[in-house]
Amino acid sequence: MANCLTLKKSNCKNCYKCIRHCPVKAIRFSGNQAHIIGDECILCGHCFVVCPQNAKEIVDGTEKVRVLLQSGDPVVASIAPSFIANYEGVGIEALRKALKKLGFCDVEETAIGATVVKTEYERMLAEDNRDIIITSCCHSVNLLIQKYFPSSLEYLADVMSPMQAHCADIKKRMPNAKTVFIGPCVAKKDEAEQYEGLVDAVLTFEELTNWLKAEKIELDREMDHDAESRARFFPTTGGILKTMAEKAEGYTYLALDGVENCISALRDIETGKIHKCFIEMSACVGSCIGGPVMEKYHNTSHIKDYIAVSDYAGEKDFDVAQPDPIALKKHFSVLDRGLKEPSESEIMSVLRQMGKFKPADELNCGSCGYNSCREKAVAIIQGKAEISMCLPFLKDKAESFSDTVVKNTPNGLIVLNENLEVQQINNAARKIMNIREASDVLGEPVVRILDPAVFSQVRDSGRTVRDQRTYLAEYKKYVEQTVVYDQESRMLIGIMRDITDEEADREKKARINKKTVEVADSVVEKQMRIVQEIASLLGETAAETKIALTKLKESIDDE
């Protein structure tokens, strides 16, 4: 398969939106990145449309067309009939004028080829006596049948698509011409490469618009009308049926759009529930005017676009020479996806790893993108998905880890919302405040159990309070509390460390220290008294000695 869709890995954000919208789950996740599986993809383009990060890219064919224009051979553009819905108020003549400025030799409508194809469908219904005929205009539907419903391949009309039929007609009229298809479909790029020699290059409307802008070429808002243009209805749901002038009797005629509806019908065909039907199938809702590369895909109005097509379409067929049926034959082969179906034991083993031990555990919520847990398990075995893609599994795992931390931390934790209502409380906090069950306070105002002042202060100021020593009088507990406001979750988190024992020890030490100081003071005071008494006695003795010595001195002097 042509590598028409690529992925900008750096943009993938694990949203799984692409896999949720992929009707065949042809996306593999590895290393937290999405990868398109070419062997399984049907190129419907849903992943391109829904990706919120614009991570999916369609390979640009502009440079290839530039090379064709420089080759010297005439290059003719085949423009899909949905152009009238994409370029509002711009007719085929205005487009021809603009594209000739780019270097194209001529511009024709793919609807010419659509006329050839619908005429061949009419012949098949009238002459081939087929049970079921499925139209082969939509390459994504063709790939869907080739890859996923090979038993229905016999019912797929072996007829060229309008793009191929028109380009073959151009080359028949101009043998040396190069052909470029321009339309709203990424799958056409793959079809052109799969069936070589008919379509030399494919551009999307978006690529054409960007090219015109780069060359500063503006499209004139000029409308033209042609009565012989009924095949312009082809890009609408039921458009093929609407253009068919002759319908064989005995057949039921159906028009289905959207891959899911096509899959449902193909399942009914496989089980033998449908017979004698002519089924027009389109992968896109609204058919080609709802194509993934319509420039307005993000703001599509199918009703408005249908009216634009209806107003532009004529009442008669294009005047074309109908080729021989053999010249319009197209061969379809089964395309093996190369997938091995896992055994039941392998599936059960993966389900257990996902935390699914019984049917009640299989939520089938679809958050991973798969329709069921079992389908997801198969994808894991096939290397397309990872266990971590299961949101309930991750949530339970994260909550289990979080709960383990919260429950076993020695610190009390209490979580409040901005209304100061208790949202969560752990065992340690309940023990501090003598709360029997968490349910007794959950959802209740915190004022019922704590002074809300510090929480109000932190909520209003946004500033964290750290390691604030507080005495909870009603609980006779001392705590060291920290209060944090989480702006993102808009929650207040209170962390309380019970320091009652520490405070008791501190007070005991303070009392001991005080008593020690008092004893020391008493001893010092007593010692001072003793010193004073000794000093007093020493003073008296010294005076008496002085008097005695003086008298003795005087006595000696007298002699």
pLDDT at 7 over 80: no
Please give the Cα distance from 202 to 291 (Å, whole number): 15
Please give the Cα distance from 9 to 512 (Å, whole number): 70
Q: What is the pLDDT of residue 398?
A: 58
pLDDT at 549 over 70: no
Pick from 9, 44, 56: nearest CA to 30: 9
Q: Domains in the chain: how many in total? A: 3
Other CB atoms within a 10 A radius of the CB of residue 476 amount to 9
pLDDT at 407 over 60: yes
Please give the Cα distance from 17 to 488 (Å, whole number): 24
User: C-alpha angle with apex 7: 6 to 11, nearest 5 degrees?
Assistant: 155
Query: Are 147 and 234 contained in the same domain?
Result: yes
Enter the tokens of residue 546.
């002085």
pLDDT at 299 over 60: no
Enter the tokens of residue 302.
């199918």
Query: Is residue 452 included in any domain, yes or no?
Result: yes
Query: Is residue 336 included in any domain, yes or no?
Result: no
> Domain end: 310, 328, 346, which one?
328
Query: Are 80 and 170 contained in the same domain?
Result: yes
Query: Is residue 135 included in any domain, yes or no?
Result: yes
Answer with the residue of higher pLDDT: 298 or 204.
204
Query: Is residue 372 included in any domain, yes or no?
Result: no
CB-based contact 297:204 (threshold 8 Å): no
Please give the Cα distance from 559 to 556 (Å, whole number): 5
> Domain end: 263, 296, 328, which one?
328
Answer with the residue of higher pLDDT: 524 or 52.
52
Answer with the residue of higher pLDDT: 151 or 351.
151
Answer with the residue of higher pLDDT: 257 or 528.
257
Query: Are 233 and 208 contained in the same domain?
Result: yes
Query: Are 472 and 513 contained in the same domain?
Result: no
Query: Are 302 and 426 contained in the same domain?
Result: no
Q: What is the pLDDT of residue 52?
A: 85
Answer with the residue of higher pLDDT: 122 or 398.
122
Q: What is the pLDDT of residue 211?
A: 97
Pick from 185, 161, 116, 130: nearest CA to 332: 161
Q: What is the pLDDT of residue 298?
A: 45
Q: What is the pLDDT of residue 10?
A: 67
Q: What is the pLDDT of residue 393?
A: 66
Q: Please report, for the domain that includes residue 432, its CATH number.
A: 3.30.450.20
Q: What is the pLDDT of residue 295?
A: 74
pLDDT at 4 over 90: no
Query: Is residue 29 included in any domain, yes or no?
Result: no
Query: Is residue 401 included in any domain, yes or no?
Result: no
State mean pLDDT over 524-528: 81
Query: Are 520 and 456 contained in the same domain?
Result: no
Pick from 255, 369, 337, 338: nearest CA to 14: 369
Percent of the chain with pLDDT over 70: 94
Query: Are 489 and 460 contained in the same domain?
Result: yes
State mean pLDDT over 238-259: 93
Chain segment 307-321, per-residue pLDDT in tens: 999 999 999 999 999
Query: Is residue 21 included in any domain, yes or no?
Result: no
Cross-strand pairs, 479? 470, 498
pLDDT at 345 over 80: yes
CB-based contact 403:56 (threshold 8 Å): no
Query: Is residue 6 included in any domain, yes or no?
Result: no
State mean pLDDT over 484-499: 90
Chain segment 77-109, per-residue pLDDT in tens: 999 999 999 999 999 999 999 999 999 999 999
Query: Are 471 and 543 contained in the same domain?
Result: no
Please give the Cα distance from 47 to 6 (Å, whole number): 11
Q: What is the pLDDT of residue 14?
A: 73
pLDDT-based confidence at residue 528 (cuts at 50, 70, 90)? confident
Average pLDDT, the chain: 88
Range in 3-7, 140-144, 212-216, 442-446 the model is least confident about: 3-7
Cα 122 off chain centre by: 44
Q: What is the pLDDT of residue 354?
A: 80
Chain segment 61-80, per-residue pLDDT in tens: 999 999 999 999 999 999 99
Answer with the residue of higher pLDDT: 356 or 323.
323
Determine the 3-state secondary structure of 286 from DSSP: coil
- For residue 183, the one-letter residue type is G
CB-based contact 416:423 (threshold 8 Å): yes
Pick from 315, 288, 290: nearest CA to 301: 290
Cβ neighbours of residue 162 under 8 Å, at least 6 residues apart? 110, 111, 113, 114, 116, 117, 137, 231, 234
Query: Are 473 and 531 contained in the same domain?
Result: no
What is the span of the domain harbouring residue 86? 60-328
State mean pLDDT over 431-460: 92
- For residue 285, the one-letter residue type is V
State mean pLDDT over 33-50: 89
Pick from 348, 318, 323: nearest CA to 92: 318
pLDDT at 297 over 60: no
Enter the tokens of residue 35.
């990868």
pLDDT at 397 over 70: no
Query: Are 417 and 515 contained in the same domain?
Result: no
pLDDT-based confidence at residue 381 (cuts at 50, 70, 90)? confident
State mean pLDDT over 268-287: 95
Query: Are 485 and 518 contained in the same domain?
Result: no
Query: Are 479 and 516 contained in the same domain?
Result: no
Query: What is the pairing mode between strands 201-204 and 178-183?
Result: parallel
CB-based contact 182:83 (threshold 8 Å): yes
